[in-house]
């Protein structure tokens, strides 16, 4: 391996420069998949405390740089941060092993739950179990609504972005089954914000805003990367695989190939992490008939109550999608497919970002991507609302609005997490309990 292709494993800019063994890195990662409740933002806070505050592997500025890159790329941000920290501190082997430690326990749990759901079946569930599922569905709607509210408050900072979000939600609600809808909206969003920024520049404005953003995001310099050539090869490979998998989604190929292609494509085009992947997976697995609305909502409620990455939801979806083939392989193919592109692109872009991250054009295009992604989360609230309740004795999904009891439960769940700061796992457990008590009334 050439010198420029090696990874410099020392910590950066005021971080701890002592060598850390692979075993030491693994020991720190082992508890994470079991304690990281609360979603991506909680994951990031835990990693900041562990790796920056307590162990001083990196400075705050370098951690912020890693976070900024992760938020700008497709895939799960918190998983990319966990992967990047191990990669930069211990090399490729550490990055891969720590990613597996971070993600595999939750993936196995979600696949096991999917097997149980398939065995029970919606039609075979007793009324009490259906009510539990309805309680979890009501809570899931609340959690998605809360994610939309929080993302919208943070990301939609001007009229162009707000309009893009509204249009994105409107198109998603009305044209859910249209092929290529989501990637087309993403591309259009990036083009719109780019054009809007060009217009500002022609008018002689906007430069100060870009400069301020630049100084805040790019203060730290990432020194521990692969060469730009190696990074470009990794990123190019991810794009080539995307070009191969897109037509395979609907081609006359084995079901497992379709599943792998579908989840790889989703992993390539999802910007915004866990909350944004929900409408994409809904379109990919429910609209196509691979699983029911009830199964989707049930799994969504469960994944929101579990520690670890929300993208482990793919293991659940892949298991149920492969019922006509091999469910174990389906789970593995879906899980690998949704994580692989983000990790490949992140490992590649780490080496190239230093030369491109200051370009205003790059920042502007990603603003459009993010605005469209937020709109899709708002659209997902409506879609899930319309299918949140299962009629007892059937597999028919109906709207939450027809059941005041569960509407109230959803509202209480929203306030409990947002205003009362009750942990999500407790709210989900209470949702299941309240749903069960409803069957006894």
pLDDT number for residue 206 = 45
Structural domain contains residue 89: no
48 in any annotated domain: no
pLDDT score for 108: 98
Q: Write down the pLDDT at residue 216.
A: 43
Largest CA distance in the chain: 71
Per-residue DSSP letters for 340-406? HHHHHHHHHHHHHHHHHTT-HHHHHHHHHHHHHHHHHHHHHHHHHHTT-EEPTTS--EE-GGG-HHH
In a domain, 88, yes or no: no
Q: Is 302 domain-assigned?
A: yes
Q: Report which DSSP code applies to 253.
A: S
How many C-beta atoms lie closer than 10 Å to residue 188's C-beta? 16
Q: Within a domain: residue 250?
A: yes
Residue 228's contacts (CB-CB under 8 Å, 6 or more residues apart) are: 351, 352, 355
Residue 18 lies in a domain: no
Helix pair 159-174, 181-202: axis angle to 10 deg? 160
Please name the residue that has the structure tokens 């249209």: 178
Rounded CA gap, 128 and 294, in Å?
A: 15
pLDDT digits (tens, 9 = 90+) for 115-164: 998 887 645 456 677 788 888 888 888 888 888 888 888 788 889 999 99
Structure tokens at 342: 């983000």
Distance CA(350)–CA(174), nearest Å, equals 38
Helix (H) or strand (E) holding 35: helix 32-35
Give the CA radius of gyration of the chain.
22
Residues 6+ apart with CB under 8 A from 285: 262, 291, 296, 317, 320, 321
Closest Cα to residue 336, out of 318, 323, 350?
318
Neighbours of 193 (CB within 10 A): 24
Question: CA 346, CA 351: separation in Å to the nearest integer?
Answer: 9
What residues contact residue 200 under an 8 Å CB cut-off, 6+ apart? 206
Whole-angstrom distance, CA of residue 414 vs CA of residue 146? 6
For the chain, how many structural domains are there in total? Answer: 1
Residues near 28 by Cβ (< 8 Å), separated by ≥ 6? 50, 51, 55
Cβ-in-10-Å burial (0-12, 13-18, 19+) of 1 comes to exposed
Task: Look up tokens 């990613």; give the residue.
Answer: 99
Residue 300 in domain: yes
Q: Residue by residue, what is the 3-state secondary structure of 269-309? A: HCCCCHHHHHHHHHHHHHCCCCCCHHHHHHHHHHHHHCCCC
Q: In this predicted structure, what is the pLDDT of residue 301? A: 80
- The closest alpha carbon to 27, from 101, 79, 95, 80, belongs to 101
**What pLDDT tens digit does each residue of the chain (441 aa) get?**
443 333 333 344 444 445 578 999 999 999 999 888 667 777 887 888 889 888 888 877 678 777 767 877 888 888 999 999 998 888 889 999 999 999 999 999 999 999 998 887 645 456 677 788 888 888 888 888 888 888 888 788 889 999 999 999 999 899 876 656 777 888 899 899 989 887 765 444 444 444 444 444 334 444 445 677 888 899 999 999 999 999 999 899 999 999 999 999 999 988 756 667 888 899 899 999 999 888 898 888 888 778 899 999 999 999 999 999 999 999 999 999 999 999 999 998 887 766 665 677 877 887 888 888 888 889 888 988 988 888 876 667 789 999 999 999 999 999 998 899 888 878 888 988 998 888 777
- Taking residue 45's Cβ as centre, other Cβ atoms within 10 Å add up to 13
* 61 assigned to some structural domain: no
Q: What is the pLDDT of residue 260?
A: 97
Q: Give the pLDDT confidence score for residue 289 in this predicted structure.
A: 92
Helices 327-356 & 313-321 angle (0-180, nearest 10): 140
* Structural domain boundaries, residue 158: 100-203+212-438
């Amino acid at each position: 391996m050439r010198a420029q292709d090696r990874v410099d494993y020392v910590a950066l800019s005021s971080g701890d420069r002592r060598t850390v063994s692979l075993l030491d890195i693994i020991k720190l990662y082992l508890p994470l998949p079991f304690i990281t409740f609360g979603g991506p933002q909680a994951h990031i806070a835990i990693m900041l405390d562990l790796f920056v505050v307590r162990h001083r592997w990196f400075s705050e500025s370098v951690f912020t740089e890693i976070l900024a890159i992760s938020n700008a790329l497709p895939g799960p941000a918190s998983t990319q941060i966990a992967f990047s920290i191990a990669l930069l501190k211990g090399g490729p082997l550490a990055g891969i092993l720590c990613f597996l430690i971070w993600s595999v326990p939750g993936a196995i749990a979600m696949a096991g739950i999917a097997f149980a759901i398939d065995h029970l079946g919606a039609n075979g569930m007793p009324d009490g179990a259906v009510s539990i599922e309805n309680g979890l569905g009501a809570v899931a709607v609340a959690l998605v609504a809360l994610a939309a509210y929080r993302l919208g408050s943070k990301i939609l900072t001007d009229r162009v972005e707000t309009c893009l979000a509204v249009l994105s939600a409107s198109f998603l609600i009305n044209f859910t089954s249209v092929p290529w809808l989501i990637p087309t909206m993403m591309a259009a969003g990036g083009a719109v914000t780019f054009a809007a920024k060009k217009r500002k520049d022609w008018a002689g404005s906007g430069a100060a805003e870009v400069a301020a953003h630049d100084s805040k995001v790019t203060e730290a310099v990432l020194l521990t990367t692969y060469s730009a050539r190696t990074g470009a090869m990794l990123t190019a490979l991810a794009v080539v695989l995307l070009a191969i998998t897109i037509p395979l989604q609907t081609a006359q190929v084995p079901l497992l190939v379709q599943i792998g292609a579908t989840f790889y494509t989703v992993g390539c085009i999802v910007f915004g992490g866990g909350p944004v992947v929900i409408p994409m997976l809904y379109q990919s697995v429910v609209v196509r008939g691979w699983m029911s609305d009830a199964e989707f909502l049930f799994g969504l409620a469960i994944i929101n109550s579990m520690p670890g990455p929300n993208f482990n939801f793919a293991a659940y979806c892949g298991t149920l999608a492969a019922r006509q083939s091999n469910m174990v392989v389906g789970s593995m193919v879906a899980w690998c497919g949704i994580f692989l592109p983000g990790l490949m692109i992140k490992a590649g872009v780490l080496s190239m970002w230093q030369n491109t991250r200051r370009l205003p054009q790059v920042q502007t295009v990603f603003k459009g991507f993010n605005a469209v992604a937020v709109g899709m989360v708002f659209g997902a609230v409506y879609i899930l609302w319309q299918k949140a309740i299962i009629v007892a004795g059937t597999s028919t999904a109906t709207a939450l609005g027809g059941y005041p009891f569960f509407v109230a439960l959803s509202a209480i769940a929203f306030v409990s997490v947002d205003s009362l700061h009750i942990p999500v796992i407790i709210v989900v457990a209470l949702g299941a309990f309240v749903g069960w008590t409803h069957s006894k009334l």
